[in-house]
Amino acid sequence: MNNRSKPNAVVVDTAHSDHATLQPVPVSSVRLHDDFWAPRLETIRTTTIPTQYELLESTGRLDNFRRAAGNLKQPFQGLVFNDSDVYKWLEAAAWALAAADDPALSQAVDTTIELIAAAQHADGYLNTYFSLDRASERWSNLRDLHELYCAGHLFQAAVAHVRATGHRTLLDVATRFADLICDTFGPGDDQQHGVPGHPEIEMALVELARATGEQRYLKQAAYFLDARGRGLIGGSAYHQDHAPLREQDRLVGHAVRAAYLCAGATDLYAETGEPELGRALDRLWRRMLNRQMYITGGLGPRHQGEAMGADFELPNARAYAETCAGIANAMWAWRMLQIEGAPTHADVMERALYNAVLPGISLDGTAYFYVNPLATDGAPEPGGKIYQRQPWFPCACCPPNVARTLATLPGFLYSVSSDTVWIHHYAASQADLRLGDGRSIQLLQRTRYPWDGQITVEVLTPGTFALNVRIPGWCATEPEQLRPTVNVNSIPCPGEVAPGQYVELRRTWAVGDSVCLHLPMPVQRVSTHPYALENSGRVALMRGPLLYCLEQVDHPGVDLRDVILPDSVPLSATYRPHSLNGIEVIEGSAAVAPVEMGWQESLYRTATSTPTVRRALDIVAIPYFAWANREVGAMQVWLRRG
Can you give the residue ranges of every domain in the chain? 34-378+385-412, 414-518, 523-641
DSSP code of residue 77:
-
Cβ–Cβ < 8 Å for 428, 446: yes
Fold of 34-378+385-412: Glycosyltransferase (1.50.10)
pLDDT over 70 (residue 258): yes
Alpha-carbon distances, residue 549 vs 537, 540, 622, 637 (angstroms): 17, 8, 6, 4
Rounded to 5 degrees, what are φ and ψ at 390? -120, 150
Q: How far is CA 454 from CA 235, 548, 633, in A?
A: 51, 20, 35
How many residues can be counted in the chain?
642
Q: Give the integer Cα–Cα distance in Å for 193 and 184.
A: 9
Give per-residue pLDDT as tens, 465-475: 999 999 999 99
Q: Residue range 85-89: average pLDDT?
A: 98
Rounded distance, CA 225 to CA 268, Å? Answer: 9
Which of the residue ranges 27-31, 204-208, 452-456, 614-618 would you say has the lowest mean pLDDT? 614-618
Q: How many other C-beta atoms lie within 10 A of the C-beta of residue 10?
A: 24
397 assigned to active site: yes
Could you tell me the CA-to-CA distances from 609 to 505, 538, 563, 594 in Å, in that order? 57, 19, 19, 16
Residue range 414-518 in CATH 2.40.50: no
In angstroms, rounded to a whole number, what is the distance separating the alpha carbons of residues 349 and 371?
Answer: 19
For β-strands 429-434 and 30-32, DSSP reports them as antiparallel
The answer, yes or no, to whether residue 102 has pLDDT greater than 90, is yes
Find out whether the peptide bond into 50 is cis, omega within 30 degrees of 0: no
Q: Would the CA dihedral through 364, 370, 373, 374 be positive or negative?
A: positive
Q: In Å, how far are 121, 139, 252 from 242, measured between CA atoms?
A: 34, 21, 9
Position 6 pLDDT exceeds 70:
no
Active site (annotated) includes residue 91: no
pLDDT(610) > 80: no
User: Does residue 3 have a pLDDT over 60?
Assistant: no
Contact 389, 362 (CB under 8 A): yes
Average pLDDT over residues 172-191: 97
Q: Is pLDDT of 597 > 80?
A: no
Residue 521: other Cβ atoms inside 10 A: 23
At 182 the three-state DSSP class reads helix
pLDDT tens digits, 157-179: 999 999 999 999 999 999 999 99
Predicted local confidence at residue 601, as pLDDT: 81
- pLDDT score, position 382: 64
- Please report, rounded to a whole number, the percentage of residues in the chain having pLDDT higher than 90: 92
Residue 219 to residue 224: CA distance in whole angstroms: 9
pLDDT tens-digit profile of 141-161? Answer: 999 999 999 999 999 999 999
How would residue 7 be classed by pLDDT, with cut points 50, 70 and 90? low
Catalytic residue among 147, 200, 207, 306: 306
Tell me how far apart the alpha carbons of residues 507 and 624 are, in angstroms, rounded to a whole number.
Answer: 40
Residue 424 has pLDDT above 70, yes or no: yes
User: Is pLDDT of 522 > 60?
Assistant: yes
Spatial CB neighbours of 403, under 8 Å, sequence gap ≥ 6? 44, 48, 49, 52, 88, 89, 92, 361
Cβ neighbours of residue 534 closer than 8 Å, sequence gap 6 or more: 314, 315, 316, 638
Mean pLDDT of the chain: 95
**Would you state the pLDDT for residue 608?**
77
Q: How far apart are CA 381 and CA 187, in angstroms?
A: 48
Mean pLDDT of 105-126: 98
Provide the residue type at 33 as one letter. H
Mean pLDDT of 604-617: 80
Q: By C-alpha distance, which of 55, 64, 151 is closest to 108?
A: 55
Q: What are 441's strand-pairing partners?
A: 433
pLDDT in tens, 367-385: 999 999 999 998 877 666 6
Helix (H) and strand (E) counts in the chain: 14, 21
| Amino acid identity, position 207 | E
Residue 1 has pLDDT above 50, yes or no: no
pLDDT tens across 393-421, in order?
999 999 999 999 999 999 999 999 999 99
What mean pLDDT is predicted for residues 6-34?
94
The amino acid sitting at 387 is Y
Residue from 324, 397, 475, 549 carrying the catalytic annotation: 397
Report residue 2's pLDDT band, with 50, 70 and 90 as the boundaries.
very low
**DSSP secondary structure string, 289-334?**
IIII--TTS----BTGGGB--STT---STT----HHHHHHHHHHHH
Who contacts 135 (Cβ-Cβ below 8 Å, separation ≥6)? Answer: none
**Considering all CA atoms of the chain, what is the largest pairwise distance in Å, rounded to the nearest integer?**
78
